Amino acid sequence: MVRAAVLPAVGAPLDITEIDLPEPGPGQVRVRLAAAGVCHSDLSLSNGTLRQPVPAVLGHEGAGTVAAVGDGVESCSPGDRVILNWAPSCGECHFCARLSEPWLCVNANAGTTVPYARTSGGEDLYPGLGAAVFAEETVVAENALLPLPGGVPLADAALLGCAVLTGYGAVHHSARVRAGESVAVFGIGGVGLATVQSAKLAGAGTVVAVDVSPEKEELARRAGADEYLIASDTTAKEIRRLTGGFGADVAVECVGRGETIRAAWNSTRRGGRTSVVGIGGKEQQVQFSALEIFHFARTLSGCVYGNCDPAQDVPVLAEHVREGRLDLGALVTERIGLDGIPAAFGAMLAGRGGRALVVFE
């Protein structure tokens, strides 16, 4: 039995309780978690914005140590330090094999619909986004693990599994920020802070951070933001003022709300690029006129998991961490236990903080 944060039903409070976690079967690995990040996507799963079979153990951003392996597992051994990959690519579907776009793999989340454990009462439990890291231990498929390169603190490495990959990929793969370009980042949570750091890593010129909370200014500036704006009806005008009257070359939206996406689009120059990282509900609508699409010649694109190939990008990110160019600790605003996850959800709803990190003993 291990302790876990269980979502008993969509919209219900999390239940911190014990679950019955089996030993790994063929092709599976049991991982003892060192840390798990509390991501807005977990909140979206809990409230039904994203679909998730229940009851479930949420959490998808994690790192830990291999505790046991099932038959046929060859890529890792007990004692290895690993990062959870919540969207492992199959390598065989149209997007993986033909297009070399593993972040769009049609089979990446196949594990979410298969029970992986049981409640103490014997009911089937499902793994949130296939990872279920809001627990002391989890069992996942072998391909859902990435080896953690040396020189990276194990607890902080959890952030590489989602926030940092997403922010880094939004800058380097989706928006493709070039040296000297101005960047506006909307939403300064964990992903937004990683985006700000990644923009500076790419050699961006002026980086403008935008959020509804005045309390996040210090976090944003510590991550590398040159300017900080409180979101308002004049945000786009203020960004144009800060970028020579033209608008930002690139905007990255990390919120997933229709009005924020529209504001990000409005804040870019003619020919500018907006990358949408935030996951919004289907009720969130964005409207454009045909004339403005022609006139402004801007690009609007979605961004899934940073458009990353984790197997290729994690070693690159680890090198940046080792060389001091990427500060994982600066993204963490609170270190909590399992019991602190409901409060972390509340903080996200209220727009407070960066990344809460569940740290296991």
Per-residue confidence (pLDDT) for residue 280, from 0 to 100: 87
* Max Cα-Cα span within the chain: 63
pLDDT of residue 282: 86
Task: List the chain residues with pLDDT less than 70.
Answer: none
CA–CA dist 268, 249 (Å, integer): 6
**For 279-306, how does the pLDDT look when each residue is reduced to its tens digit (9 = 90+)?**
988 899 999 999 999 999 999 999 999 9
Tens digit of each residue's pLDDT (9 = 90 or more) over 51-75: 899 999 999 999 999 999 999 999 9
Check the CA dihedral 142-327-34-345 and report its sign: negative
> Where do the domains of the chain lie?
2-161+327-359, 166-305
Supply the pLDDT for residue 254: 96
User: pLDDT value at position 236?
Assistant: 97
| Tokens at 310, concatenated | 């984790």
- The pLDDT of residue 281: 84
pLDDT of residue 95: 96
**Residue type at 120 in one-letter notation:** S
Q: Are 174 and 307 in contact (CB under 8 A)?
A: yes
- In the CATH scheme, what is the code of domain 166-305? 3.40.50.720
**Cα distance between residue 22 and residue 194, in whole Å:** 35
Contacts of 66 (CB under 8 A, 6+ apart): 29, 30, 31, 32, 76, 77, 78, 79, 80, 81, 82, 145
CATH (one of 2.10.109.10, 3.30.300.160, 3.40.640.10, 3.90.180.10) for 2-161+327-359 = 3.90.180.10
Q: What is the pTM of this model?
A: 0.94
What is the C-alpha end-to-end distance of the chain, expressed in Å?
16
Q: Cα separation of 6 and 4, whole Å? A: 6
Looking at residue 349, what is its pLDDT? 85
Structure tokens at 229: 């704006």
